[in-house]
Each structure stands twice: as structure tokens, then as C-alpha cells.
Amino acid sequence: MLDFRTEIRNSPKEQTLKIYLTDISLDTELQGLLEKINGVRMAEVQPSMSRNRVAENLTIFREESISINELKLKVDEFLESYFERVDI
């Protein structure tokens, strides 16, 4: 099973990244770490609305100086590295 999944979301105001973690007890810890990534304006823990998803997700808001696709790559690389260290 995957430790996380990221999705690009389009809202009327801006594009965001949604991160769905298998272990939601890590949401708050990862929120602080993700906010340190260059290009992340803010990370927020939010309740998930869909019935087929985990109870909550991390929503990443980007700085305007970075594209959402670049930010997704950075976040995915960070999370892969994080879970490689944790899973060992």
C-alpha cells in the first residue's frame, strides 16, 4: 500500500495540492515540514469530503513564483524520501 497520494486540484481561486496520507497521524508533523519547502506558501490539514478517502488531507497552497506541476514534483520527492527513511 502506498504511504501517500498527491493530486492537483483546481478551485475558483487557485490551484492546490491535496496530499492523502495512509497514516493520518502524520498530518500535523508533515504539515510543518512541507511548509519549509521552497515554493510552498502554506500547508493546512483539512477534513476530506469524499466518502472514499481518508478522514483528512493536507492541502498545499503554492507561491505564485512556482508552477503547480513543479511544486507537485518537489512535494512528491520530499514525501518519497521521508517515507523511505521512516519505513526502514
d(CA 12, CA 50): 19
DSSP letter assigned to residue 3: S
Listed in sequence order, the residues at least 6 apart from 76 whose beta carbon sits closer than 8 Å to its beta carbon are 6
Q: Which CATH architecture has domain 4-87?
A: 2-Layer Sandwich (3.30)
Summarised one tens digit per residue, pLDDT across range 24-36 is 899 999 999 999 9
Alpha carbons 6 and 11: distance in angstroms, whole number: 16
C-alpha 43: how far from its chain's center? 8
pLDDT per position as a tens digit, 7-24: 999 988 999 999 999 998
CB 15 within 8 A of CB 85: no
**Domain coordinates in residue numbering, the chain:** 4-87
What is the structure's pLDDT at 53?
64
